[in-house]
Structure 1
């Protein structure tokens, strides 16, 4: 297949599988590898490690840097994903649309309505793996997706997510609405983003571990509106359902270092599954 953006599948060094969505939903087994679901103008790519675990780690990437563009599919989370869990890293199909599209919040586009398509795909993956729960992780726009797709029994661990797209830099939103949904003008793009991109309309489910850089304007523009909607405090703490971590990780929209993210995720895995048992687990 050819796309208007650069692709590179070999860099992930995984066996490749390509299916239509219907073919994927008919699978009876799920090996580890790089999966591409063909939607014609775009594809949904997933980097899957099937460990037969009872819990799956779903990783959603942040926006691509405005200064550099990496080939698609694009994945983040391999350093953070716990080895005790199945691993599913997802590449946003909207990155296939145009070089100007650096972020799509995993909301989909006119070729692939991800809000409709992704939940049954995730259900299918977990059914084939024998998994019942999920830990969903992501930075920035990836954190937004982790919150959006979590269920009541799941845990989402998010870093500086966008809750209200119209409170975000609109220059990043416009290319996605233009190339993804055919909405080129500013006003209609704004109304569309306001309608589809406000998590307060469908508040996140499950346990939320919300990590926010205190030097980021997201404290006022994103965290506080969600906290008001959920009825939780904007002071650091953990009430069981909502855990807020405010950190000093640099000036601006900066996530915590990967080792801190590993620690936070590891604590949640221990909370979900308990400590690993056996000599070799203790040795590791």
Structure 2
């Protein structure tokens, strides 16, 4: 604990803190938000074979929150326990106090939500009560362990604390820790509670919710959702919980919450679950009608005239696939990079957006990331290569060959998420081109740690989380915020959903470091809560406008009303000169990101007269 508290920087990814010489496991996902959610798990089921156990990844993936996952260490000490309510044991008698200190340290300066299911709900209520101005989101919680009828309570007191409560008796002596939240919430507390309870859980409705409502001070209850999630002690659907968390996290202030406005069904039986990720398989049969060409290797591909349809060549032991569609007399070409290959029944080669360019007078080149061929379970690799394939060196040569063969004059590099990272990187290697990244990652190591670790291990043989952050920059360009800190000769049309956690973690660091001489434009909007792209027709509008620019990308601000100019190079031909009126001392001068905050913009050729930010032209 002492060593942890002395650290100047918060740990990132998985970490452990020894409390009474016993490790407590955490995982911290800092996504750059002003709110942090602490996720506390319920009792483990027999299906759980490995500890530590963390919950809440899926339901918080698209919420604007940093995430602190916590595992109850009592389950590690005593293997036959299902739960310990994060309330400690005789080996860790002060666990509640120590966890409170850790939580306060990890969430300092942030709004804090404590979220938990069942036993985790008990813990959420407890730790929120110890943390002024925080908010608890318990789901089907226990609130008084002495009156909880489950044999798990007696088992916990006996096994974890060495007590002698009879398993067949209602009499339960309690250990010397906080087990009665009714007494806690009878006192005035500077805390808010959003209580979610399944009405089909009759035991918890009667013995916990009703008791809490009767005892707790009304000022503490910021919101109550009594929902039909099904019979028994079952939680509402993931979709409902995700929407509830997002509802709370996006609120400007934590006053009262009307959870009746949530649109998702709480009943799991009525919610269609999203398809689970399954291993990808290689299948090129769907491209039979488009025409398929095979080459011996990269040199063979580059030495021959380009064929339309699917081209495949051996790339240092795995297939490299390119899908080409050429339109007569088209001057522009869109190079498309795919995002993560998530979902069920994904086949390789993986291409996306194949219908997006059908109605646009443009050539289209679709690329499949060859790193996905290394392992059927690898989902994302950012077109950043691997130890056998130096893709960031080879792919520009391949793209140049394709662009020359189709007679392209104007080049547009397009991709979403991981594909947006690739679009930004490879466009920078083609002077005069345009990058159109959609919700991109701008630094690989700032993405979800599970995905980064999988990429680092499978593609580069990097095993440990902490190593991936230090070793990846040595083997591949993984930080585009640094890359674009130097002047680049391409243009960027950055498209970002403003409710996406990528705003804080990827867009803002990119725009803050972006060299002010780089021609950068921004399109932002609300297209769903979380990491969701704009609708396909909207993306098509942007791409059509880009094609009509005929290589003069500065026209985008005139051709599409949502395009804002962020920064611009005054020395480049055909591009008007803009300077920014906003300065920040900590930035050392002009702030290139001020346009997104609505500050005034000025044109030098209009004697610094203010430009109306709502003008369709600007």
Q: Cα offset for 1:49?
A: 0.7
Q: Distance in 2 between matches of 1:226 and 1:125?
A: 29
Q: Distance in 2 between matches of 1:183 and 1:260?
A: 39
Q: Cα offset for 1:166?
A: 2.5
1:99 aligns with 79
Note the residue ranges of structure 2 that are not aligned, 5 or more in a row. Answer: 255-497, 504-521, 533-618
Q: Cα offset for 1:157?
A: 1.4
1:80 and 2:59 correspond: yes
Q: Distance in 1 between matches of 2:177 and 2:230?
A: 32
Q: 1:165 aligns with which of 124, 145, 150?
A: 145
1:116 aligns with 97
Q: Cα offset for 1:31?
A: 3.8
- Indicate how the Cα distance of structure 1 residues 282 and 43 shifts in structure 2: closer, same or farther if over 3 A, else same: same
2:200 aligns with 215
Whether contact under 8 Å (1:152, 1:207) holds in the other structure is no
Note the residue ranges of structure 1 that are not aligned, 5 or more in a row. Answer: 1-20, 233-238
Q: 2:159 aligns with which of 141, 165, 179?
A: 179
- Indicate how the Cα distance of structure 1 residues 122 and 268 shifts in structure 2: closer, same or farther if over 3 A, else same: same
Q: Distance in 1 between matches of 2:11 and 2:217?
A: 42
Q: Cα offset for 1:195?
A: 7.0
Listed as ranges, the matches of 1:239-278 within 5 Å are 241-272=221-252, 276=499
Listed as ranges, the matches of 1:45-64 within 5 Å are 45-64=25-44
2:215 aligns with 229
3-state DSSP of counterpart to 2:142: coil
Q: Mean alpha-carbon deviation: is it higher for 68-77 or for 31-40?
A: 31-40
Aligned-residue RMSD, C-alpha: 2.7
Whether contact under 8 Å (1:165, 1:193) holds in the other structure is no
Q: Distance in 2 between matches of 1:272 and 1:43?
A: 37
Whether contact under 8 Å (2:149, 2:170) holds in the other structure is no
1:282 and 2:526 correspond: yes
Q: Cα offset for 1:62?
A: 0.6
Task: Normalising by structure 2, report the TM-score.
Answer: 0.38
Q: Distance in 2 between matches of 1:118 and 1:240?
A: 22
2:115 aligns with 137
Whether contact under 8 Å (1:62, 1:142) holds in the other structure is yes
Q: Mean alpha-carbon deviation: is it higher for 175-184 or for 217-226?
A: 175-184
2:181 aligns with 199
2:609 aligns with none
Larger Rg: 2
3-state DSSP of counterpart to 1:79: helix
Post-superposition CA distance 1:21-50 (Å, at most 9, x none): 221111111242111112366321111112
Q: Cα offset for 1:174?
A: 2.3
Q: Mean alpha-carbon deviation: is it higher for 197-206 or for 221-230?
A: 197-206
3-state DSSP of counterpart to 1:200: helix
Whether contact under 8 Å (1:64, 1:102) holds in the other structure is yes
Q: Cα offset for 1:142?
A: 0.7
Q: Distance in 1 between matches of 2:171 and 2:25?
A: 26
Whether contact under 8 Å (1:31, 1:50) holds in the other structure is no
Q: Cα offset for 1:86?
A: 1.2
Whether contact under 8 Å (1:156, 1:207) holds in the other structure is yes
Q: Distance in 1 between matches of 2:10 and 2:157?
A: 34
Q: Distance in 2 between matches of 1:54 and 1:161?
A: 26
- Indicate how the Cα distance of structure 1 residues 138 and 281 shifts in structure 2: closer, same or farther if over 3 A, else same: farther
1:71 and 2:50 correspond: yes
Q: Distance in 1 between matches of 2:523 and 2:95?
A: 43
Whether contact under 8 Å (1:64, 1:70) holds in the other structure is no
- Indicate how the Cα distance of structure 1 residues 91 and 253 shifts in structure 2: closer, same or farther if over 3 A, else same: same
3-state DSSP of counterpart to 1:192: coil
Listed as ranges, the matches of 1:140-151 within 5 Å are 140-150=118-128, 151=131
Q: Distance in 1 between matches of 2:222 and 2:90?
A: 34
Flag the structure with more relative contact order, 1 or 2, with Cα contacts below 8 A and sequence separation at least 6: 1
2:461 aligns with none
Q: Cα offset for 1:193?
A: 5.7
Task: Normalising by structure 1, report the TM-score.
Answer: 0.80
Q: Distance in 2 between matches of 1:181 and 1:260?
A: 37
Q: Cα offset for 1:71?
A: 1.6
Q: Distance in 1 between matches of 2:71 and 2:213?
A: 28
- Indicate how the Cα distance of structure 1 residues 272 and 78 shifts in structure 2: closer, same or farther if over 3 A, else same: farther
- Indicate how the Cα distance of structure 1 residues 281 and 254 shifts in structure 2: closer, same or farther if over 3 A, else same: farther
1:7 aligns with none
Whether contact under 8 Å (2:64, 2:250) holds in the other structure is no
